[in-house]
Amino acid sequence: MSAPETTVHLALLRGVNVGGRTVPMAALRELWTSLGYTGVRTYLQSGNVVFRADLPPDAAALSGTIASRLGLDTTVVLRTGDDLARVVAANPFPGAGGTLLHVGFLLGTPDPEAAGALDDGRYAPEAAVLAGREVYFSLPDGMGRAKLPAYVGRRLGTPMTLRNWRTVEALAELSGA
């Protein structure tokens, strides 16, 4: 019997190091290592953890462990390196990037009815496109004044954590995608 294949995973923590909810990235790396994950790396100070695992990790269990060991109540959204490669390849806004394009990573599958009325143009020139468990946001005036991500987040019925395109590309590179 062969050993399970090690897969690159990304844990995207929601709302870390914003609004006073801080956790040192070294503490996250130590926590992930203590749980038996390998190749643990963090990116920026916003709760991005790249790691290797033989078995698929459990997002709810990771959220609970973070709460009990680090005192931070946060949602953990998981993707594999292959998932991230697909996210990069599926960008519906060619030419957009940097900090004007964001990806919302959804914890679960969005409510189909809500997803159908995702972007009705009320926040133009901001635009959103749902693709599976991700929402791409084109935010020509930047994230600071954007209204569409909050609107979409309320409508989809599942937690979402946002990353700008630069971060998405960097995480894809770190994961080998």
Please give the structure tokens belonging to residue 115. Answer: 């997803």
- Residue 4's pLDDT is what? 60
CATH T-level fold of 7-83: Alpha-Beta Plaits (3.30.70)
3 state SS of 68: helix
3 state SS of 78: strand
How do residues 25-61 score in pLDDT, each as one tens digit? 999 999 999 999 999 999 988 899 999 999 999 999 9
3 state SS of 50: strand
Q: Are 156 and 169 in contact (CB under 8 A)?
A: no
* Domain positions in the chain: 7-83, 85-174
Residues in the chain with pLDDT < 70?
Answer: 1-4, 17-21, 115-117, 177
Q: What is the DSSP letter of 104?
A: E
Question: Omega of the bond prior to 125 within 30 degrees of 0, cis?
Answer: yes
Please, is 145 exposed, middle or buried when counting C-beta atoms within 10 Å of its C-beta (0-12, 13-18, 19+)?
exposed
- Residue 9's pLDDT is what? 97
Please give the structure tokens belonging to residue 96. Answer: 């957009």
pTM of this prediction?
0.92
